[in-house]
Every structure is written in structure tokens, then in C-alpha cells.
Structure 1
Amino acid sequence: MRKQTVSLCVTYTLALLVALAGSMKATGLRHGFNSNSSRIFNIISFGAVGNGIEDDSQALVSAWRAACAVPRATLLVPSDFQFLVSPVTLQGPCNSKLVLQIEGTILAALTTRNSLKSNIFQWLNFKWLNSFTIQGSGIVNGQWSQFRNLSLIHQNSTIPPAALRPTVVRFYSSYNILVRDIQIVDSPQCHLKFDSCRWIRVKNVTIFSPEVTPNTDGIHLQNTRDVEIRKSNIGCGDDCISIQTGCSNIHIKNINCNPGHGISIGGLGRGDSLACVSNVLVDSVNVQNALSGVRIKTWQGGIGTVKNITFTNIKVSNVKTPIMIDQFYCDQSSCHNKTDAVSISDITYQGITGTYSYEPIRFACSDSVPCTGLNLINVHLIPVNWWQYKREAFCWKSYGAAWGPVEPLSAGCLERSNNRLIKILTKPHNYTC
């Protein structure tokens, strides 16, 4: 009797579960999905081949449109495949918390002749997104070498060389963006770019292109605020992280930069333009085999301000010039002398240690708009070779002070602040940052 009762209970329970499952299935069908798996949109299901030869761009766009329409959806780029993709724009607005899960490899396809007419060319162009994540253990490969060959083919063309080299991943006018864990390699130009964005997080990414690749910034920020970049390895042929005009509240921590041009603010003010950068903290960064460690560079003739910048706990190894401010920046064969300059003030360098290959510190500031509020605290920089001649720090129109143990002692070349004198020297401007 007891066994019969247990058997009836089991039978009833199974029947109930089957009924519930049927009810859930019917309800799910009415809403267009019946399980979490229906929120996963695999690019293979939309016609992608993944052999690295056939163009999978349309499949990516189709999968994006489907995922974009579903809350908490995931667009999956599966492992063990290589997806060749031509330039695409993946735009919103989308439903909340869309995820692009990259487990395989996305390869950049060569541009078409029509694409080459654009000088603001992007490859994977994301725009108008909110609460969006790119993550995974996969690779985004810009295939720099093929674009280099294309540049050589078109070197006599009216198309400027930069137009032939796209930025690999670019975000425009997007908010609450997270990029983590992925690898972005061999970009023809910038690897990861944020333009007119806010609330950005980049974590545990690997970015790499050869040292000989020109203008291949690792992470490029422009008109972007409230940014956190952490725990990432970056090596490239230009700035590991580049901070341009319109940026504020930037926090960079635990970054390895090798090789590259270090962490840079600028160049700012090109073409006599207004440039504004403020509230930047760069903390716990290792820079190796680089042109610069931490630098601020501005063009003559620009206006605006760079202020409240802190570089702390920076370790350099075989870096040409670890600390640099250059208000005479020019990447051309020659530039005209101009009196206007972007104002630079309240800059702190604390705990900057390691080896340099050319000179330890270079502060080249404007005669008409001197640098003010420069602070060197616990700085220890020595030549990369013990037998190498110890070069002195260079200071020009740079006002501030050195605190604590400082080597080289010539870092004391900073002029003591004289607010009245600086006010007389500084040319007034009518602008607002």
C-alpha cells in the first residue's frame, strides 16, 4: 500500500511537471522565445561560414538586428571559426543589456574602392548604444599587413594614406559601455576608439600591433567622459592610450605599455582649435621600450586648458623620455611659430621611477602661456646603461616644485611659482572649457 502511494505521488509529480513545461512553452512562444537560449543569436545561424575566406558581413548585420530587438540578448561569435568581415556599422538604439560575445576570430576584409573615398573610415563601427558589452576570449584582427600593402599600391593616389587604414573598433555617441577580456590585434590605425561617449569601462583587454606600425594608438579617447581603463596589456606603434580634447574624469590603472609612445594627452590645439582636458588620473602603469612615458603635447596656436592631471606610481624601462610636456608639438617637417597656446596647469608626477635612454624630463612650455602648478614628488630616473652620461632635466617656462627624493637633481630646474609674474606673462583668452 505504501509503495502504491509513493508510485502515485511520483506519477502525479511527473504529470504536473510536464503540464508546467507545456504551459511555459506556450507562454514563451507568445513572446517570441521560450528559454534563455533563445536570447543567444549565433552568427552561424544567420548564414555565416566562418572559413576566413568568404565574407560574413551580412550575417553579422542580420544577427545584430535580431539581437538588438530582444532584451538581454547575446550575439555570439563562436570559437573555432574565423569570420571575414567588411566595414560595417552596428547601431542602436537596442534593447537593454545587449552583449557581443566574441569567442572566435573576426578578420578585417580589404576595403572596396568606394570605401577608400572616406577619410574617417572605421571597420567595426558601433553607434547610439546604451548598456552594451563586448566580451569573450576571442580575437578581433585588423590584418594590418594587407592594409599596408594597399597603401603602397595607392601611394600615388589622391586618397590620403590615413584613409586607407581604418580604426578597428570605434564607438560613437554611446553610453554605459563595457569592453573586457577580448584581444584586438594588428590594427591598421587605432585599435579601440571612443568618440563622444560617456561611462566607459575597459578591463583586461589585450591590444597589440608591431612597433613599426604608424598611428596605431591602443585606446583613443575623444570628447568622452567618465572612463575607467584597468588591468590591460597594450603594445602598438603609437600612444598606448591617447587622450584628446573634450575628455574629463579619466581613470587609468594597472596598464602594461610595451612597446609604444606611452600614455599621452594630446596633441591638442591643432589648427588653432580649442582643446579642453581635465581630471585625469594615471596610476600603476608600466611603460617599457617606449618613446615616452607620460606626456602632454600641444600645438602652437591652440587655446584651452589641460588641468588637474595626476601621474602616480609609473615604472619606466628603456623609455626615451619618461616625463614630457611639449607645447611646441609638431609632427610635420616644419611648423610656424605662434604665441597662443593651450594652458597647462596643476600637473602632478608622483613615484615616477626607472630608466631612460635619452633624457629624464622635458618641460618645454610656451613663452606666452607658461606651465604652472607642476609638482615632482619622489621621482627617480637614471640612464638605462650605468656607464651612460646622465642628462639633465630640461625646463623652459615651467613653474612648480620638486618634493622628496628627486633624481636627477636637475629636476629642480622648475621655477618657483610667482603668480603675479605668471599673470603678466600669460596672454588672456576669451574662451570657455
Structure 2
Amino acid sequence: MVVKELSITLILFLSLCLSCYGTFSNLDEVNEYESCQQRYNITDTDMETEISDQMVRHFKPRLVVNVDDYGAKGLGTDDTKAFRKAWNAVCKSPISAVLIVPERKYLVKPIVFSGPCLSSITVQIKGTIEAPSDTSDWDGKNIGHWILFNGIKNLVVEGGGTIDGKGRNWWENSCKVNKSLPCTDAPTAMTFYSCVDLRVENLRMKNSQKIHLSFEDCSKVQVSYLTIIAPNTSPNTDGIHITRTGNMGLSDCTIKTGDDCISIVSGSRNIRIGNIACGPGHGISIGSLGANNSEGHVANVMVNNVKLTDTSNGVRIKTWQGGHGLVKNILFKNIAMHNVQNPIIIDQNYCDSIHPCPVQKSAVQVRNVMYKNIKGKSASDVAVRLECSSSVPCRKIVLEDIHLVSDGDVTQGLCENVIWDEVGEVFPACAS
């Protein structure tokens, strides 16, 4: 790219203050840079006007903070305070900042990275962040979170490193594993709450205590190139959980867990999911919605180009009886199933309870849902199961170019209380 002609003043600024343009390791250097700008009456806008985009990216100032500089050891001792101090430094920076976690293992106890911050922040996780194995480290703290990013704009979390939840002690004490134990909560490994203009990419997450990655009340989110792994016996270890979040793109991820690979729940809208390998796990789910007679809404979701292998469900919508609200404008397309127990399923009688759920008339409405080009192997004889409410039936459900087969003598489609259309070849066909 050709660099535009620079003014004499700007050339002078660059020649005298070039050391200010680049990376900074502390706020004193940032202040020196700003003083240099004021002396020559040069603003960042002037720089961006006079210099090509490529030059701006090269010279644009930023603060670089390494957690080691704030006391992190990476030796198995508690590095939580060092991480907190390093975050405070980047959050207070008036210029864009980078927080680096080097290629070592860091033990970090429950921590909150809070905004608002003064500028954009990139967190580069190159090493491994490990949770404490002792569940008592959450005593007196919010048991629902391990790593929480709260109220931040213009945040990037990346780096190729690993987030290790050390979840085995939590799993062994889950009521889903040991029926004699009371049901208690467990931490989500990494939560983004009320974040705007967020990008999360190129990370490995494993063995979360509960959900691996959760987005709550966020907007303008891009997630890509994640690998999420936990044993298929680990309880409630959803890969990615999305709630009350909008305008989100999720792509190019591999997810192997003990629960939903991706779960989308109430308040979420405008979600685009593509190029996902899922399994083992419970598949990709919208819901559950409507629990405890609550209201649930999910709209405008597209799931495209997904491979599901050895999962208990494929693409699923699940709602409780007694709820109310609406699921609408959902598209599942170009999906390959390999040994999937319930490849296509709508369940408006969902009941995740040790006690039978009472029959109720109200339900979350499901309408405008399309299943297109879904093919492969069903692990059960019922490859298409649409079980909708008798009082609030599913409407405008379209099955197009479906070919799912099982090893049984007959592969079936069971559809109750649903108004559907079939386009192209559809096997198995819906039967009431």
C-alpha cells in the first residue's frame, strides 16, 4: 500500500517521538507518548489521516502487560493476585492494551475481570490457566463462575493457550453422577457477561467444572477456532452456552463434551453457527425453555455445515410444559449425522427432573423451523421425532431433502401435534 505524503510537522513528530509509537510496558511510557503528542499538537486522528492503514497498524501505540511482571510465577502457586493487578493495568490504559499470559501453567482461583475499561483490550493466553482442584476455593464466592469477564467493550481473547477447569472433583460430587447427593451448582469455566464487540478465538478448553464457555447479555460477538473437550460422562459440561445474547457468529469449532455441544436459551437472537464438529455430547440444542412456567424467546438462528458424531441428539428444540413464549425463524441445514440417537427432534414435553412433570396446557410456541439437507446414520429407529404440544402445536415446520437411515428394519418419523411440509426427498417421512 502506498504511504500518503506526510506533512513536515508529522515527519518531525515521527522522527523525535518514534520511540513512543509502538508498544509500551507501563503507564509512564504511555504518559510520555501523550506528552509528546501534545508538544507537537498531533493526534491519533492526524496519524490515521496522514499514514496508510498498514502504517497505522504498525505504529499505533499500545500498552503490553505480562502477568509475570505483576508477580505471576507459573509454578503451581496461586497467581490470582498477579492476574488481577495485570488486568487493572490494562483496563486503566488510555490506549489499546495487550495482556499476555506466557507459555507456562498458572493456577488461578475464581476471578472477575471487570469493566468498563478506557480502551480496547486483547488478552493473549499462550500458556495454560488452571483452576484449583479443591472445591472449597469457592467458599464465600459466587459458585457459578470461575473466570468472569464483566461489562467490557472491544475485547479480544485469543492466543492458542488452554483453559483447564480441573472439573473431576465437581463431577464426582454431582447428583447426576451420584444419585444419593443433593443437587448443587458448579462453576462455568469462562463467562462473558454484558460484553459488546467481543471476539474469542483460537483457544483450547477442557474439563470444565460445568459449562465451558458462556455468553450472557452480550452483543456483537464472534467466536471461532475453539477446541472444547471433556469426557462424555462429565455432567452438565456444555461446550458453549448462549443466553440473552444477540448478533453472534460462531464457527470452526470442535466440541466433545458430556452435555450439549452448543445450547441456545431464552433472549437469544440473530445467531449464526457454522463449520462445527460435535460429538460426543448431546448435540446442538435450542432450549430448554419455559421451565417453572417461565417465558422463553429465541429467534433467527441458523445452524449450517455441522457434523455430529456419536451424540444423543442431533439438532434439538426442547421446551417444558407450562411455559410460554416463542421459538421462531430457525434453520438447520447441511448437517451430517453419524450414529446419532435422535437426529431431528422437537420435544415440547421436556422434563429433566427426578419426578414426573405434570401435564399442562400452556407451552412455548415453535414455528417457522426448516430442516434442510440433513443426512446420515441414526442410532435409533426413530430418526425424526417431532413431539409438540396438543394445546400449542408446532406450526410451519419444513423438512427438505432429508435422508436418515438406521440399522433397524424400519426407520421412522414420528410427528405429533405438528403442521409440517415436505420438500424434495424426505426419508423417513413424518407419520402421526
Residue 73 of structure 1, aligned match among 97, 103, 116: 97
2:360 alignment partner, SS class: coil
Residue 399 of structure 1, aligned match among 419, 427, 431: 419
Q: 1:50-102 CA distances to partner (integer Å, 9 max, x unpaired)?
A: 02x201000000000001112210000011x1000000000101122200000
For the pair shown, the structure with the greater C-alpha radius of gyration is 1
Matched, 1:278 2:299: yes
2:152 maps to what in 1?
Answer: 129
TM-score normalized with structure 2 length: 0.84
2:138 maps to what in 1?
Answer: 115
Residue 340 of structure 1, aligned match among 352, 355, 362: 362
Matched, 1:54 2:63: no
CA contact (8 A) 1:235 1:260 kept: yes
1:14 maps to what in 2?
Answer: none
Task: Provide runs of 4+ in structure 1 moved above 2 Å.
Answer: 19-38, 110-120, 146-152, 155-158, 160-163, 388-391
1:166 maps to what in 2?
Answer: 187
Residue 334 of structure 2, aligned match among 313, 319, 327: 313
Q: 1:206-232 CA distances to partner (integer Å, 9 max, x unpaired)?
A: 111110001111000011111100111
In structure 2, runs of 5+ residues without a counterpart are 1-10, 34-58
1:146 maps to what in 2?
Answer: 169
CA contact (8 A) 2:293 2:322 kept: yes
- Give the direction of change, closer, same or farther, for the CA distance of 1:394–1:116 in structure 2 (3 Å limit): farther
Please give the residue correspondences for 1:360-375 in structure 2 after superposition, counting only pairs within 5 Å: 360-375=383-398
Deviates more, 1:344-353 or 1:31-40: 31-40
CA contact (8 A) 1:86 1:111 kept: no
Q: 1:23-65 CA distances to partner (integer Å, 9 max, x unpaired)?
A: 55589957436697971100011100102x2010000000000
Matched, 1:219 2:218: no
CA contact (8 A) 1:33 1:39 kept: no
- State how far apart, in whole Å, the 1-side matches of 2:18 and 2:142 are: 52
Residue 350 of structure 2, aligned match among 329, 337, 340: 329
CA contact (8 A) 1:218 1:239 kept: yes
- State how far apart, in whole Å, the 1-side matches of 2:393 and 2:30 are: 64
- Give the direction of change, closer, same or farther, for the CA distance of 1:289–1:23 in structure 2 (3 Å limit): closer
Amino acid at match of 1:362: R
Q: 1:189-245 CA distances to partner (integer Å, 9 max, x unpaired)?
A: 111101111111101111111100011110000111111001111111111000000
Q: 1:268-296 CA distances to partner (integer Å, 9 max, x unpaired)?
A: 00000010111110000001000111010
Q: 1:81-136 CA distances to partner (integer Å, 9 max, x unpaired)?
A: 10000000001011222000000000011456473466752000110000100001
- State how far apart, in whole Å, the 2-side matches of 1:89 and 1:130 are: 15
In structure 1, runs of 5+ residues without a counterpart are 1-16, 415-433
2:276 maps to what in 1?
Answer: 255
The Cα RMSD (Å) is 2.5
1:45 alignment partner, SS class: helix
Q: Percent identity?
A: 37
TM-score normalized with structure 1 length: 0.84
